[in-house]
Amino acid sequence: MSGRATARAVAVGVLVTASLAYLAWDVVLAVRVPGEGAWETAAETVRRGYKEGDCVVFDPPWAQEGAPLFDGLDVITTETVDWYEVGKRARVWIVSSPGGDGAIPAGFKRIERKDEGGMGVSLYRAPVRGKLLFSFLDGLGKARVSRVYKDRTERCTNFRNDRWYCGGVHAWRFVGRYVRDIAGAEREMIWAHPMENGVRTLVNFPAVPRGGTLVIHFGLTQRAIETGAGAPVTFVVDVDRKQVFRRVLGVREEGWFEQSVKVPGRGSAVDVTFSVSTPDNKDRQFCFTADMWE
């Protein structure tokens, strides 16, 4: 056999071996896919031990074919799990394949696990952060929203459906509750699309219960990242009229960023202001949330 024929035979052999390997792996995957009965068993296991304040997460997050069987429970169905938000619950149920739930971050303590019916169900206790004193998202009605121009300041006094408008209702010129795709997950947050020509949007909360730590999350929507239009966004946080955080977010800087700020001082309340601005606001869909922890 010539060298060329030998090489051809080896190549054919490699191709056949690879094809058989892929076929075998497909068979393995098909066997591992849980059936309807397995999902029903997992749902029954969760419901028997579920308590108010719990939530349900799937591992991997996209493997949630049986999610409708958990209807009525607090179920996380995003393909990227926001573990900070999950950690606000007391406990979390992980529904996975046997031996799964390996993606749980540090701080979550497993209480129990059951492998039955072709699936695994684990119960975890969330990390102890302390007491959540104030959610800025939930407390939007207490905010004072304004736009600061070079020669004047405009107050936004029209509050409808958890959104502040300066004047009439507008498709995007508002500060308020919204759901958008950010860093691989549909997130509920405070929409704060900046205005044109560097005009600052201020979101002031004048009487937030004073806690030890202010936790801030912020980022650009997936559309903002993909278009890459406009200019960087400047995000500033003041506590009692003193700047405690500042970040300039690039036009394609992707992420749902977290920043923790210690809140010293005395008294029962604190004044917190968020400022958003950019010299060019085309597609600068900026969003944030924050929480005050004891």
Model pLDDT, residue 22: 47
Q: What is the DSSP letter of 168?
A: S
Model pLDDT, residue 62: 82
Model pLDDT, residue 27: 38
Q: Where are the domains of the chain?
A: 36-125, 132-293
Model pLDDT, residue 29: 38
- Could you give the count of Cα atoms lying within 13 Å of 228 in the half-sphere of its Cβ? 2
Peptide bond into 60 cis (omega under 30): yes
Phi, psi of 20 (to 5 degrees): -65, -40
Cα 152 → chain centroid? 36
Model pLDDT, residue 86: 92
Q: What's the rounded Cα separation, in Å, for the pair 255 and 187?
A: 12
Q: What's the rounded Cα separation, in Å, for the pair 133 and 16?
A: 62
222's enclosing H/E stretch is helix 222-227
Mark residue 82 as left, alpha or beta (left: phi above 0; alpha: psi -120 to 50; beta: remaining): beta
pTM: 0.81
Report helix, strand or coil for 81.
coil
Model pLDDT, residue 198: 96
Model pLDDT, residue 17: 58
Task: Return the structure tokens found at 55.
Answer: 């939530």
CB atoms within 10 A of CB 239: 20
Residues 6+ apart with CB under 8 A from 124: 91, 92, 93, 94, 104, 108, 109, 110, 111
* Pairing status of strand 286-293 against strand 163-165: unpaired
CA distances from 180 to 35, 92, 170, 222, 232 (A): 32, 24, 17, 8, 19
Instruction: Give, rounded to a whole angstrom, the gap between the first and last alpha carbons of the chain.
Output: 79
Averaged pLDDT, groups of 10, the chain, 294 residues long: 57 52 41 72 95 93 90 90 91 85 82 86 90 96 97 97 96 96 93 97 97 97 97 98 97 97 92 98 98 96
Beta bridge partners of residue 201, listed in sequence order? 147, 276
Dihedral in degrees, nearest 10, Cα atoms 87, 91, 95, 98: 110
Task: Return the structure tokens found at 68.
Answer: 């409708």
DSSP codes joined into one string, 16-70? HHHHHHHHHHHHHHHHHS--HHHHHHHHHHHHHH--TTEEEEEESTT--TTGGGG
CATH 1.20.120 for the 132-293 domain, yes or no? no
